[in-house]
Amino acid sequence: MILFNSFRTADPLEYHKSFLKENCRPDGRELDEFRTTTLNIGPISTAEGSALVKIGNTAVMCGIKAELTVPPSDTPNKGYIVPNVDMPPLCTSKVRSGPPEEQAQAASQFIADVIESSEIIRKEDLCIQKEKLCWVLYCDIMCLDYDGNLLDTCIVALLAALKNTQLPKVTINKDTDVPEVDLLQKSPININKHPIGSSFAVFDNTIIIVDPTGDEESLATAVMTLVTDEEGRLCALHKPGGTALSGEKLQHCIGRAATRHREIMKLVDKIIESMKK
Amino acid sequence: MDVNEHEVSPATREFGCEQNLLSRPDGSATFIQGNTNVLAGVYGPAEVKVSKEIYDRATLEVLIQPKIGLPGVRERAREQCVRETCEAALLSSLHPRSSLSLILQEVHDDGSLLACCLNAACMALMDAGLPMSCLFCGITCVISTEGQIITDPTLQQEKESRAQMTFAIDSIEKRVMMSSTKGSISVQELQEAIALSQRASERIFQFYRDSVHRRYSKIQ
Amino acid sequence: MKDTPLSNCERQFLLKTIEERKRLDGRETYDYRNIKITFGVDYGFCMVDLGKTKVMSQVSCELATPKETRPSEGMLFTTVELSPMASPAFEANKQSELLVKLNRQLERCLRTSKCFDMESLCIVSGEKVWRINVDVHVLNHDGNLMDAVSIVAITSLSHFRRPEVSIQGQEFTVHTAEERDPIPLSIYHMPISVSFAFFQQGSYLLVDPNDSEEKVMEGLLVIAMNKHREICFIQSSGGIMLLKKQVTRCSDIASVKVLEITELIQKALEKDRKARKDDDKFSFAESLPKEQITAQKLKEAPLEKMDIQETASEIINKANISPSTQGEHSPVLHAGGVGQVGEGITSSWGLEEDIEEEGEMEEKTTVKKTKRKGDVIVISDSEEEDIVVLN
């Protein structure tokens, strides 16, 4: 055991390769197996919607805050969504305190792109009165523990939190022009599409594994995140570089992502159902 | 130029490039795709800050400067795409404990900006004479509202499209090195776009080859 | 990265040639390097090459609220950016001494000299005015940045056109370029700076010093002037004592240089205006040097689209034939609001004992449901795992 652990410390790449040669991974998973995904919907009572997701050791908390505002002048009939991914120093030793590092910024941009591309929520639904009042949803995604595959975890957290979001009814008083918020009448927002992500890592330019851990991510020659919706359409194919993949390999990954999508959808639906009881 | 023809059939716009146009950087290039223009400069291999030193390879830094204002989150995301693509192509282990920096300046954006950044980056790396395992090029495809795939779109075509994809293709096996998408795409559309990009990449690589050939034509 | 310093022998050699009234690039004492002005597709874009020094500038405008002290005046903001591309010594987003100096001098050159009509930029007094932004990027640093920056800034300002605005009472509409032709700014005069480098306690002087000359110079005098011989600002740096006579002589030289440069700018603007009028589409590819072997062009061409769809379908079908080896996991519910999927590695959340047996799990769930909704059960059996992780 001691020998094994020193092997891991001394030459992590060779350590991982020796497992992958046998078609398994250091944590006992198969190459195309995801880690256990645990989802808790609604842990924060002060937020409009929230979710806590754990994929293996990666833990992400998402909270949704809704505020009333004036719609932007270029899209007067739409509300808007502001996502932000935060990676505080507590989540991994690689992050230092200070302004957000590139990974967190890239993740924020990615989540914003996914919201935009998938139309997870119709922005028209967030509008209360044209040119006057709309909702703005602040989606704060906080990484609590980082062990790879941040993007998948963030998307599941975002989706679950949005499904959990309840907005109070707002009416505009015709005489005074002042919005009146009825906190007793709350209704969930309409989720238009259900995007779910699947991340892949390429090892040694040839072997593709799913759901990489932090170690695997840092040793891999490329990482890729695929986001699909329930109709099997792709909302994002995010591969920021690294080893090249052929169209055939990509197609294989898309197939795996579809299976993962069904799996997570069932989980989310079942949990939402359990909360209604 | 027949505008209509460009809209119906996939095509590449006019390309242009100039290498070694700046005196200070170790390698520089400007790449032009229609009206889109990006200027790139490379410094390195040079000494590296201790905090950024990697013991077995060179540290690559990529900076993208927008024309107006300061770089934001969008530029960060683009920088990440360009950097990781370059890292895969560069043989950075030949220059351990050193720094390479690539600076990209947007000169004019008329669509396919990220693709143009990638092309300018590749040309600048070539000009700097850095060892690379393969060349790469960038191609943007958009899907119009009628479902047509347009390669190398203009800004107007990008705005009217319902989905947009940018790929980096390697020169050896024409595989996908980088991918960045926007909008929802069916699997069939994705594969068609990849196949089209691979075809367009051949033209860009031929263009690279012609420029390098021309450049070294006077050397005996 | 650090800039390559000038060696002592280089320094001595340079000073000696200056004493002999020669310059390494073959120029005379009062000669400027070649100035090349290029415009782009957008209004307000300009690139200037001063020898090997290269700068570009983009002017943009936006609606803003005016300053309280000047409610009926537009605003002008100038930003100079020393791109790390320009020199290895420049770092991104770092306020260096040179950057502060350039920014301050450009501001004095344009804003303080009142070179264009700020009041015409007012839409509704005290509420809405145009804010003009000048973004200057230094792309290659080969000395005399100030002159290059001042030329590029004033040229792009003269080239710029802002959207027209029509006002009805308090309401105003901004017209797009398609609706109404955008209008240029009303430029009163063109302040252009001319730099003089001094050597050997001011006994030798050079106009338009390049990078190596700047490294050995002892003092720098910058005079910004318009073609009416009005001095807009004057700045002496480097702590060199100059005689009154020397300064007046410099201002005489500057007036000649400014006249030449203004003429060049006017000519370039006129040429661009004519090209736009004739609807001669500008293209960057046309501006590439034609004779140089470092430049290459390729005409627009269509792509063969044949069999693209077949190739795509083939790939998709092939992938569908081989079924995914991974079976689908069914979700497991632990309590109201908490669920789990996949039975891969153990999670340190401590819920794994629940998924050992389906039947047992059912029982546990019912027990836990009596607890508050959304409660996460913490079972502390993770000590053992912690040790593994630490290794």
Listing DSSP states for B178-215 in one string gives EEEEES-B-HHHHHHHHHHHHHHHHHHHHHHHHHHHHH
Bridge partners (DSSP) of residue C296 are B17
In A, minimum Cα distance to C329 occurs at A263
Q: Is the pLDDT of residue B127 over 50?
A: yes
Q: Is the pLDDT of residue C323 over 60?
A: no
Cα–Cα distance for residue pair C13/C8, rounded to 1 Å: 8
Tell me which of C324 and C271 has the higher pLDDT. Answer: C271
Write out residues 154-183 of B within 8 Å (CB-CB) of C: none
How far C85 CA sits from the closest chain B CA (Å)?
6
Beta carbons of A173 and A179 less than 8 angstroms apart: yes
- Chain C contact present for B195, CB below 8 A: yes
Nearest to C133 among B21, B65, B68 (CB): B68
How far A262 CA sits from the closest chain C CA (Å)?
8
Q: Is the pLDDT of residue C34 over 70?
A: yes
Cα–Cα distance for residue pair A185/A166, rounded to 1 Å: 9
Task: Output b/e per residue, C31-41; b: 16+ Cβ within 10 A.
Answer: ebbebebbbbb
- Chain B contact present for C131, CB below 8 A: no
Cα–Cα distance for residue pair A15/A25, rounded to 1 Å: 10
How far B136 CA sits from the closest chain A CA (Å)?
10
For residues C72 and C150, state if they share a domain. Answer: yes
Residue B178 within a domain: yes
For residues C355 and C282, state if they share a domain. Answer: no
In C, minimum Cα distance to B40 occurs at C85
- C330–A40 CB contact, under 8 Å: no
The two three-digit tokens of residue C287, written as one number: 């501006």
| Residue-level pLDDT at C334 | 76
C92 to B65, B86, C86: CA distances (angstroms)? 9, 20, 11
Q: Is the pLDDT of residue C365 over 60?
A: no
Biggest CA pair distance of chain C: 102
- Chain C contact present for B150, CB below 8 A: no
Kindly indicate the confidence band of residue C319, based on its pLDDT and cuts at 50, 70 and 90.
Answer: confident
Beta carbons of C80 and C136 less than 8 angstroms apart: yes
Domain count, chain B: 1
For residue A198, list chain B residues with Cβ-Cβ distance below 8 A.
none
- Residue to mutate among C160, C280, C284, with most B CBs inside 10 A, is C284
Write out residues 58-77 of B within 8 Å (CB-CB) of C: 63, 65, 67-70
% of chain C residues with pLDDT over 70: 84
Listing DSSP states for C274-336 in one string gives HHHHTT----GGGGS-SS-TTEEEE--EE---TTHHHHHHHHHHHHHHS--SSPPPPPEEEET
| Residue-level pLDDT at B5 | 42
For residue B194, list chain A residues with Cβ-Cβ distance below 8 A.
247, 250
Beta carbons of B56 and B64 less than 8 angstroms apart: no
Tell me which of A129 and C257 has the higher pLDDT. Answer: C257
CATH code that applies to domain A29-272: 3.30.230.70
Q: Which amino acid is at B111?
A: G
Say which CATH number the domain at B129 has.
Answer: 3.30.230.70
C118 to C110, C115, C162, C184, C359: CA distances (angstroms)? 11, 9, 13, 13, 80
- C338–A271 CB contact, under 8 Å: yes
The two three-digit tokens of residue A30, written as one number: 């198969």
How far A78 CA sits from the closest chain B CA (Å)?
18
The two three-digit tokens of residue B69, written as one number: 């204002």
Q: Is the pLDDT of residue C135 over 90?
A: yes
Cα–Cα distance for residue pair A164/A272, rounded to 1 Å: 8
Segment B182-202 shows an average pLDDT of 91
Q: Can you tell me which residue has the tokens 């302040």?
A: C191
Q: Is the pLDDT of residue C391 over 60?
A: no
Q: Cα torsion for C23, C28, C30, C32, to the nearest 10°?
A: -80
Q: Which chains touch A (3 or more CB pairs under 8 A)?
A: B, C
Segment C83-91 shows an average pLDDT of 91
Write out residues 175-234 of A within 8 Å (CB-CB) of B: 193, 221-222, 224, 229, 232-234
Cα–Cα distance for residue pair A227/B189, rounded to 1 Å: 15
| Residue-level pLDDT at B9 | 57
Name the residue range of residue C359's domain: 332-341+348-390
Bridge partners (DSSP) of residue B100 are B60
- Chain A contact present for B65, CB below 8 A: no
How far A171 CA sits from the closest chain B CA (Å)?
33
- Chain B contact present for C40, CB below 8 A: yes
| Residue-level pLDDT at C390 | 43
- Chain B contact present for C33, CB below 8 A: no
C286 to B17, B32, B105, C181: CA distances (angstroms)? 11, 10, 20, 26
B98 to A7, B43, C1: CA distances (angstroms)? 28, 11, 10
For residue B88, list chain A residues with Cβ-Cβ distance below 8 A.
221-222, 241-244
Name the residue range of residue B117's domain: 3-215
What 8-state DSSP symbol labels residue C67? P
| Residue-level pLDDT at C281 | 64
Biggest CA pair distance of chain B: 55
| Residue-level pLDDT at C368 | 40
| Residue-level pLDDT at C380 | 46
The radius of gyration computed from the CA coordinates of chain C, to the nearest angstrom, equals 33
Measured in whole angstroms, how far is the alpha carbon of residue C238 from the centre of its chain? 29
Q: Which helix (H) or strand (E) holds C104?
A: helix C97-107
Q: Is the pLDDT of residue B7 over 50?
A: no
Helix A247-276 to helix B187-215 angle, to the nearest 10 degrees?
Answer: 140
Kindly indicate the confidence band of residue C293, based on its pLDDT and cuts at 50, 70 and 90.
Answer: confident
Listing DSSP states for A173-208 in one string gives -TTT--EEEEEEEEEEPPP----EEEEEEEETTTEE
- C293–B199 CB contact, under 8 Å: no
Question: Domain residues of chain A, as ranges?
Answer: 29-272
Lowest mean pLDDT among B20-24, C288-292, C345-349: C345-349
- Chain B contact present for A273, CB below 8 A: no
Residue C156 within a domain: yes
Give every residue of chain A whose pLDDT is below 50, as ranges: none
Tell me which of C381 and B201 has the higher pLDDT. Answer: B201
Nearest to C326 among A27, A32, A56 (CB): A32
Domain count, chain C: 2
C187 to A265, C47, C129, C156, C164: CA distances (angstroms)? 63, 19, 17, 11, 17
Mean pLDDT across chain B, nearest whole number? Answer: 89
The two three-digit tokens of residue C349, written as one number: 């959340």
For residue A83, list chain B residues with Cβ-Cβ distance below 8 A.
none
Q: Which amino acid is at C150?
A: S
Question: pLDDT for B75-123, tens place per residue?
Answer: 888 998 999 999 999 999 999 999 999 999 999 999 999 999 999 999 9
β-pair type (C192-199, C204-207): antiparallel
Q: Can you tell me which residue has the tokens 């060199």?
A: C240
β-pair type (C75-82, C128-140): parallel
In C, minimum Cα distance to A269 occurs at C331
ipTM: 0.89
| Residue-level pLDDT at A187 | 87
Residue C294 within a domain: no
What 8-state DSSP symbol labels residue C7? P
| Residue-level pLDDT at B159 | 92
How far C391 CA sits from the closest chain A CA (Å)?
7
Q: Cα torsion for B174, B178, B181, B187, to the nearest 10°?
A: 40
Cα–Cα distance for residue pair C387/C391, rounded to 1 Å: 7
Mean pLDDT across chain C, nearest whole number? Answer: 82
- Which residues neighbour C231 within 8 Å (Cβ) at sequence distance 6 or greater? C223, C224, C225, C251
How far B10 CA sits from the closest chain A CA (Å)?
20
Segment C238-258 shows an average pLDDT of 91
- Residue to mutate among B114, B162, B184, B201, with most A CBs inside 10 A, is B184
Q: Cα torsion for C287, C292, C296, C299, to the nearest 10°?
A: 50
Segment C179-201 shows an average pLDDT of 91
Lowest mean pLDDT among C165-179, C309-323, C345-359: C345-359
In terms of C-beta density within 10 A (0-12 exposed, 13-18 middle, 19 or more buried), how is residue C5 classed? exposed
Question: pLDDT for B134-176, tens place per residue?
Answer: 999 999 999 998 888 889 999 999 999 999 999 999 999 999 9
Cα–Cα distance for residue pair C97/C116, rounded to 1 Å: 28
Cα–Cα distance for residue pair A161/C361, rounded to 1 Å: 26
Q: Is the pLDDT of residue B218 over 90?
A: no
Q: Is the pLDDT of residue C324 over 60?
A: no
Cα–Cα distance for residue pair A272/C255, rounded to 1 Å: 79
Bridge partners (DSSP) of residue A123 are none
For residue A54, list chain C residues with Cβ-Cβ distance below 8 A.
347, 349
Measured in whole angstroms, how far is the alpha carbon of residue C111 from the centre of its chain? 20
CB atoms within 10 A of CB C7: 9
Kindly indicate the confidence band of residue C166, based on its pLDDT and cuts at 50, 70 and 90.
Answer: confident
C305 to B11, B137, C302, C309: CA distances (angstroms)? 9, 19, 9, 8
- Residue to mutate among A36, A46, A53, A102, with most C CBs inside 10 A, is A36
Question: pLDDT for B23-62, tens place per residue?
Answer: 999 999 999 998 899 999 999 899 898 888 998 899 999 9
What 8-state DSSP symbol labels residue A89? G
Nearest to B218 among C293, C300, C302 (CB): C293
Cα–Cα distance for residue pair A251/A261, rounded to 1 Å: 15
Cα–Cα distance for residue pair C284/B38, rounded to 1 Å: 10
- C139–B105 CB contact, under 8 Å: yes
| Residue-level pLDDT at C283 | 66
- A39–C340 CB contact, under 8 Å: yes
For residue C54, list chain B residues with Cβ-Cβ distance below 8 A.
22
Q: Is the pLDDT of residue C63 over 80?
A: yes
Measured in whole angstroms, how far is the alpha carbon of residue B121 from the centre of its chain? 6
Q: Is the pLDDT of residue C132 over 60?
A: yes
Write out residues 142-171 of C within 8 Å (CB-CB) of B: 142
Q: Is the pLDDT of residue C168 over 90?
A: no
Cα–Cα distance for residue pair A253/A212, rounded to 1 Å: 14
